[in-house]
Homo-oligomer: A and B are copies of this chain.
Amino acid sequence: MYHSCLNLRVRYAETDQMGIAHHSSYFVWMEAARTELLREYGLSYRELEERGYLLPVVEAHCRFSRSVRYDDVITIESSLDQLGGASLRIGYRIFRAGEENPAVAEGYTLHAFTNREGRVVKTPDFFIALFEM
């Protein structure tokens, strides 16, 4: 299974008064990672939207094992876990950059394919083709 790796530096605004990155930030990082995952498969998500396809999140999950802090560099590893008839599941593992296991967090997001009106549509053929190569 192909993995994409995105490195990001934790921003001050992403911390909370516990002194660690706020858990909602991880979902934002996962989203940044899947933009790169799709790009590495040859698809710009921006272009996908311009062609009339949206990928809203229908389920999101994350387990936080260790905290990360301001100015830490993290690596978000993402991969296409499942491609359904009208959906897509992406898995994520987040590390402190340069560290091996264990991951500081692991999660997934499930997405539906919809048109601009929010109606679920079939996974487009050109999208399936990207992952068959």
**Residue A32 lies at the interface, judged by CB distance under 8 Å to chain B:** yes
Contact of A60 among B17, B61, B71 (CB under 8 A): B61
**Residue A56 lies at the interface, judged by CB distance under 8 Å to chain B:** yes
* Contacts A24-B13, A31-B13, A35-B12 given; does A63 touch B71 at CB 8 Å: no
Q: Copy number in this complex?
A: 4
User: Interface size on A (CB < 8 Å)?
Assistant: 40
Structural contact, B9 and A56, CB atoms closer than 8 A: no
CA distance A64 to B59 in the complex (A): 6
**Residue A54 lies at the interface, judged by CB distance under 8 Å to chain B:** yes
Structural contact, A20 and B56, CB atoms closer than 8 A: yes
A: residues with CB less than 8 A from B are 9, 11-13, 15-20, 22-25, 27-28, 31-32, 35, 44-46, 49, 54, 56-65, 67, 69-71, 109, 118
